[in-house]
Structure 1
Amino acid sequence: MSAQPSWEREGRDWPNREHSRFVQAAGLRWHVQVMGQGPVLLLVHGTAAATHSWRGLAPILARDFTVVAPDMPGHGFTSVAPTRMLSLPGMAAALRALLEAGRWQPQVAVGHSAGAATLLRLALDGAIHPDAIVSINGALMPIGREASDFFSGAARLLAGIPFVPRLFAWGAANSGVAARLLRDTGSRLDERGVEYYARLLRHSGHVAAALGMMAHWDLRPLLLDLPRLRPALLLVVGARDRAVPPADAGRVKAILPSAGIVTVPETGHLTHEERPEEVARIILDAAEGHRAAA
């Protein structure tokens, strides 16, 4: 099995494939999906995911926006990233280069899990100026200093051992592994949704990028900067999320009181995949509400 998924093989029937293109930026060959017309709406997936994560949501949003959805560095069909790029500042800088290459300046930015943290870093650094940022089960809070140090250290150790990603990918050749991992997040996906994750997890390069992000992710500087965030922030929370505690949204709001919170019942960490129509309404309402207020 190759280190990276092949567009000709794993991507042969990739969701929304007709909207895919490949763009050179930050020394990487990016897989990006662009669809629709209107103001730009940026979608940024989380760790270990790719553009398939937006398969149901993106076409709905494309009725009102030009939707731009990249595979992040080392994920999906975007080329392998150097280790320095897998930190939060590194991911943000790489994404900034991609947006500049495509001349995309988002009016609305939507991020899932670690993707939400990446968008906040971009906005705080002045790289993007959206009216609103929507965080879907955003991984924005450290899990506790001691635990965070332990898990990041363990991930750094595992990511640095060459055979570990290959071993994990070998085990994930059985789609049952992906199904169990997804169930552990509190989400319930159909068989097709599970298969897209399984395709990616069979490749050591994709696994190594996910481990590398875990190893180099430090949210503490982001939280220190968060009170000066200018775009409106909406926190969408899956009530059954087992990956990011739903209570974390309240902790974020304590730091940024202007943030709004919307809870989607009976959904886990992959709320946008389980309920794309409902999440689309939430995003569109947030965008329309900001325009009305302005």
Structure 2
Amino acid sequence: MPKDATAPGDVQFVTVHGKRRAFVKTGSGPVLLLLHGLACDRTTWDRVIPILAKKYTVIAPDLLGHGLSDKPRADYTLGGYANGMRDLLTILGIDKVTVVGHSFGGGVAMQFAYQFPERTQRLMLVSSGGLGSEVTPLIKLIQAPGWEGLMRVLTMPGIRHLETTTLRALSSRGGPLRKYTRDLHEAATIVESWRDRHTRFAVRHLVRAVIDWRGQIVTMSDRAYLSESMPMAVVWGRDDQVIPVRHSSNVAALAPNASVTVLPDSGHFPHRDHPEEFARLLDTFVSSSAPSVYNRAKFRRMLRRGTAEAPTTLVSADTA
């Protein structure tokens, strides 16, 4: 890490396999790894990091192709991202973490837990991909022919400023349309990031790896039984317009030992809409669950059997 990256909360950099990765590391205590969603970056967690850092070591990276991390021609699959997180944690001297993943980052979190169960203590999914096929058509359009050319036009300085100003103004409006406009401030931030052609390149390759015209390709349903021995929690915003909140109900069938919380008056970013409540939910989850202990023999038996050894009952904690 660079010598000037010493203050807690400052962005730090480390080079992994020749590619520079940006991250924030702050606080002390048990380690939380916070993984952002598609086209976002570590700043999506800005409202909860100061709260969590009072009790935990918080690591919030910019995934490859996002934020201040490099945006090369590279592996933008879930497995590639999981490997990158393992390597980052290894360099930082951290063996075990509670992984928290938002949206696409939820898919990365699930993949990390699957590939590296010996390093995963718990898993929290926030408005996560991988729990159903539906996703907003706006993300599907990223694959469409002509998207790159259209984005070059829409992110030109004058046009971009008009777009982002309008989106942010709409996001602050109340009334009956609030459920549809709530997340437009984050959409404006994404539009700002797309002025960089390297970012657009990375996002398009990422989308192609996990989504097709029918919706999400990657699902945890075929491997959900492996979560039987790992504490798991799910948090969703009731007004999510990106990934339907009904996907949270699939958890009962996929991982019946998981807790599920649906937050009212919240969209696709519940950790930004209700940072204190989100931090409380995460702290309660960590404090009330024993960390997963990897047992190779048990893991092998579950893989051979293809089902969980001892399914438990869903614990639902709907705060609505």
- Band the TM-score falls in, shorter-chain normalisation: 0.7 to 0.9
Where does structure 2 lack aligned partners over 5 or more consecutive residues?
Answer: 1-6, 173-177, 212-216, 294-320
Contact persistence 2:41–2:62 (CA under 8 A) = yes
Which protein has the larger Cα radius of gyration, Structure 1 or Structure 2? 2
Contact persistence 1:140–1:252 (CA under 8 A) = no
Alpha-carbon deviation of 1:232? 1.1
1:247 counterpart SS class:
helix
Alpha-carbon deviation of 1:131? 2.5
Letter in 2 for 1:224: D
2:33 counterpart SS class:
strand
Q: Which residue of 2 aligns with 1:224?
A: 222
Count residues with an aligned counterpart.
Answer: 273
* 2:71 is aligned with 1:73: no
Contact persistence 1:31–1:78 (CA under 8 A) = yes
Alignment root-mean-square deviation, CA: 3.3
Letter in 2 for 1:32: F
Q: How far does the alpha carbon of each residue in 1:239-283 deviate from its partner, in whole angstroms, 9 at most, with x for none?
A: 100111111011132111111101110100011111111100000
1:52-201 paired onto structure 2 within 5 Å? 52-83=43-74, 85-126=75-116, 129-143=119-133, 155-158=142-145, 163-170=149-156, 171-174=159-162, 175-176=164-165, 179=168, 186=180, 188=182, 196-201=189-194
Where does structure 1 lack aligned partners over 5 or more consecutive residues?
Answer: 1-15
Alpha-carbon deviation of 1:224? 1.1
Letter in 2 for 1:43: L
Q: Distance in 2 between matches of 1:210 and 1:185?
A: 26
Contact persistence 2:81–2:108 (CA under 8 A) = yes
Alpha-carbon deviation of 1:28? 1.4
Alpha-carbon deviation of 1:39? 1.5
Task: Flag the structure with more relative contact order, 1 or 2, with Cα contacts below 8 A and sequence separation at least 6.
Answer: 1
2:240 counterpart SS class:
coil
Q: Kindly tell me: are residues 273 and 120 of structure 1, through their superposed partners in 2, closer, same or farther at Cα, counting changes over 3 Å?
A: same
Contact persistence 1:168–1:207 (CA under 8 A) = no
Q: Distance in 2 between matches of 1:165 and 1:201?
A: 7
Aligned identity (percent) is 23
Alpha-carbon deviation of 1:162? 5.6
* 2:263 is aligned with 1:277: no
Select between 161-170 and 117-126 the one with higher mean Cα deviation: 161-170
Select between 197-206 and 73-82 the one with higher mean Cα deviation: 197-206
Q: Kindly tell me: are residues 59 and 262 of structure 1, through their superposed partners in 2, closer, same or farther at Cα, counting changes over 3 Å?
A: same
Q: Distance in 1 between matches of 2:205 and 2:108?
A: 15
Letter in 2 for 1:136: V
Q: Distance in 2 between matches of 1:103 and 1:178?
A: 41
Letter in 2 for 1:125: Q
Letter in 2 for 1:209: A
Select between 175-184 and 113-122 the one with higher mean Cα deviation: 175-184
Contact persistence 2:130–2:219 (CA under 8 A) = no
Q: Which residue of 1 aligns with 2:258?
A: 259
* 2:244 is aligned with 1:245: yes
Normalising by the residue count of structure 2, what TM-score does the alignment of the two structures yield?
Answer: 0.74
Q: Kindly tell me: are residues 167 and 137 of structure 1, through their superposed partners in 2, closer, same or farther at Cα, counting changes over 3 Å?
A: same
Q: Distance in 2 between matches of 1:241 and 1:198?
A: 19
Normalising by the residue count of structure 1, what TM-score does the alignment of the two structures yield?
Answer: 0.80
Q: Distance in 1 between matches of 2:46 and 2:32?
A: 15
Letter in 1 for 2:89: L
2:289 counterpart SS class:
helix
Select between 51-60 and 123-132 the one with higher mean Cα deviation: 123-132
Letter in 2 for 1:211: R
Q: How far does the alpha carbon of each residue in 1:180-201 deviate from its partner, in whole angstroms, 9 at most, with x for none?
A: 997998463697x676445423
